Amino acid sequence: MNKLLKRYRIFLALAGINILIIAFFPPVGQKSLQITWNSLLEMLSVIPPIFVLLGLLDVWVQRETMIKYMGDHSGILGVLLAFLLGSAAAGPLYAAFPVAAILLKKGSRFSNVLIFIGAWSTTKIPLMLFEASSMGWKFMLTRFLINIPGIAMIAFITERLLTKTEKQQIYQNVTDFQ
């Protein structure tokens, strides 16, 4: 029971704060509940398909295949594949983290996973098309061309700054959580 309470302590604290807001400031509390409800519905519409795709990725893609194409010795192919997977993805950024966990579990290089997350957050194709239509092609291309080396630099610097023990701990956390 203590483990369960510890795991959900932030949720319980926020629920308690929401109850206090409803009690003392009803209009604000009602707005807060409406926003929370809408967010919950959005998450419930996104998360199930993501988990189905994760299950398929986990079952269909062998660890050896993932190591070959995105592992430590994948080189530029791994980087390009990480960019492509992240850019072609759909859905909000919080959906990228379970996918990243599967990539780590399957043996992907840490920097490739960071590139995947960076690409998901900034170079998604629908986002770029929206930018091009609303802000112009010049803006979209400029941002895109700045983001590509920025994402790669952040990923490689982060991987270099982490010690071998820290990276092993990250991989172990992913394995333990699954």
Cβ density class 12-28: b for 16+ within 10 Å, e for less: eeeeeeeeebeeeeeee
Asked whether residue 91 falls in the same domain as residue 163, the answer is: yes
Number of domains in the chain: 2
Q: Could you read off the pLDDT tens digit of each residue along the chain, which spans 178 residues?
A: 788 888 888 988 988 998 999 999 999 989 988 998 998 888 888 788 877 877 787 778 788 888 888 888 989 999 999 999 999 887 788 888 988 998 998 889 999 999 999 999 999 888 888 899 999 999 999 999 999 999 999 999 999 999 999 999 998 888 876 5
Query: pTM of the predicted model, to two decimals?
Result: 0.77
> 66 and 42 in one domain?
no
Please tell me whether residues 6 and 91 are part of one structural domain. no
Q: Would residue 21 count as lying in a domain? A: yes
Residues 41 and 85 in one domain: no
Question: Which residue range forms the structural domain that includes residue 12?
Answer: 1-46
Residue 116 and residue 31 in one domain? no
- In-domain check, residue 9: yes
